[in-house]
Amino acid sequence: MEANTLQRLLESGESETVEFKRGVPSEKDLAEAVVCLANARGGRIILGVTDEGEIHGCRDYDAEDMKRAVFNATDPPLVVDVAEVHTAKGTVLVVTVPASPVLHATTSGKYLRRVGRTCQPVAPYQIPSILVQKGQLDYTAMVVPGASLDDLDAREIHALRSLLSERNPRSELASLGDRDFIVALELARREEGALRPTVAGLLLAGKAAAINMFVPGARVTYLHFGGDEIDYDFREDLQRPLVATLERLTEVIEARNRLQTVPVGLARVEVRDFPVEAYREGILNALCHRDYTQHDAVYIRHRSDRLEIESPGGFPTGITPETILHHRPKHRNPVLARVLQRLGYVEQAGIGVDRIYRALLMNGKEPPEYVEEGDSVRLVLRDGLFDKNFARFVSEAAARGTPLNLDQLIVLSHLKRHRSVDRTTAAAICQRSEREAGEILAAMTRLGLVERRGTKGGTTYILSARLAHLAGEEAAYMRDRGLDAVKRREMVLDYARTWGSITNEKCRDLCGVNFHQATRLLADLCRQGLLRREGRGRYTRYVPSPTANVGG
């Protein structure tokens, strides 16, 4: 680690991922600190530093012995990196601890986890939740102690069978007898000679009383807020099987989801404040991927300008709001997700975030927002004005057989609100690398969706003239283009005066334009008497006109 990186860490202070220790701790204390970070988000332990970030330095240490001590004092064993940073005030040791996909303890049996800036013991009742979070335990696959097949509702099983037949007519599962059906669908499992329901079985086909007794966290609270946005004017608490819960929530939301009819060409389109596909997918994700070891409910807060869906349990390890769109599939409750996928509710390949994005963006709404707050995740869907011109363009593109992909929709949505985008911003909003973002923008330029402005590090992209016209942004487009045109003209003249001449190729590289645009720009400057063309074909170059004044 470089000294300036260390200085930034010291200035930032202790956090959930950074801990300071004044000197070299005992093997026991170091192992506990390592376990604490590994069971949370990982991080760094900085040795030789006071709690206030003052360097005191470390003495009498052996980095390799420290690594071995940590390995031998943790279960399962942890491998850490110990780096030395030499400063004027002494040597600082930086112990880097990876976030672990499994739950660790010290060899003395202590389970610890970093919470905020402190190391907290993990209580026995918290262990299942952490195992679920790390993917070591599928709680929904577990047989429910004390439950029996009598706790499953025959009507719900019949409803699941009918749903399966309707959505997948070729499925052989629907023709099985009840016992074979619930076993094949992983709603029950044989244990100790008896067939008993799994947690997934109760969640999908359990009687209300059984759900309340055995899976008390399987609750959803819907709150609708009136004009003052402070007190709710409608509340409904649900503790039903998941499919029935989803359908009931759709009913109560639709009853309060404002609808307007907008003409788009010869058709009339019904537009709701919150697209049904977006919020249903969000609710389904909350029900499917929440942590059922926690007893907190899923909360849905319906306000005039936004719909919030909050579910217990943070993101599965490795997923963040900045990576959720393209992260590889990672289900907290694999059995439950598998059953819902068979029923046609959940995508086998992911968690449906792309469908939420698309449903919102195609209607001119803002992208969804994901917020991780401690042990919960909140999805925010914001109401936005329906952009009929944009909807028309999206529909026409699909009709021509060239539908916009999700990356293109995200970039265009950003441009409608911010007027320009660069590669770094495009990478962030599309959750892609900068190289991939550059490829996305280049493809959109070729398709005539955006126009490139500026050069190299200063390159930005704006809506093309055609899309600006569709969006009613002609004036803004002309202002941007006019300012950019003046800038290009000045750059070309300055280059020619500095180096004696300029070619079409250099003009293209300098201004970020194509061959034909460079040709027109150079021809215009020649007509204005500011440049003079010399040579022919590949040897053509443009030199400053001796009669041109400095200001052009």
Instruction: Classify domain 3-122 at the CATH topology level.
Output: 3.30.950
> So what's the pLDDT on residue 473?
61
- Return the pLDDT at 349: 45
Distance CA 224, CA 68 (A): 57
The whole-angstrom separation of Cα 492 and Cα 507 is 7
Between helix 474-499 and helix 504-511 the angle, nearest 10°, is 130
Q: Which CATH class is domain 126-383?
A: alpha beta
Matching CATH topology for 388-472 and 486-544?
A: yes
Instruction: Give the Cα separation of 246 and 232 in Å (integer).
Output: 21
Long-range contacts of 87-92 (CB under 8 A, 24+ apart): 87/3, 87/6, 87/55, 87/57, 89/55, 89/56, 89/57, 90/48, 90/55, 90/56, 90/57, 90/58, 90/59, 91/48, 91/57, 91/58, 92/6, 92/46, 92/47, 92/48, 92/49, 92/55, 92/57, 92/58
Task: Single out the residue of 331, 329, 315, 450 nearest to residue 379, CA to CA.
Answer: 315
From the first residue on, what is the mean pLDDT of each consecutive set of 10 residues in the chain (552 residues)? Answer: 81 92 93 95 93 91 94 96 92 93 93 92 86 85 93 94 87 87 93 90 96 94 86 94 95 92 69 91 93 93 94 83 83 90 70 86 88 90 76 76 90 85 93 94 91 75 78 59 72 90 87 79 92 90 78 44
Domain boundaries, the chain: 3-122, 126-383, 388-472, 486-544
> Do the Cβ atoms of 151 and 197 come closer than 8 Å?
yes
Tokens of 253: 């939301």
Distance CA 376, CA 114 (A): 16
Pick the CATH number of 388-472 from 1.10.10.10, 3.40.50.150, 3.40.50.300, 1.10.3470.10: 1.10.10.10
Architecture of domain 486-544: Orthogonal Bundle (1.10)
Model pLDDT, residue 482: 57
Instruction: Please give the Cα distance from 74 to 65 (Å, whole number).
Output: 14
| Cis preceding linkage at 145, omega within 30 | no
- How far, in Å, CA of 35 to CA of 103, rounded? 9
Record the pTM.
0.74
The CA distance from 29 to 15, in Å, is 18
Full DSSP string of 22-48: SSPPPHHHHHHHHHHHHTTT-EEEEES
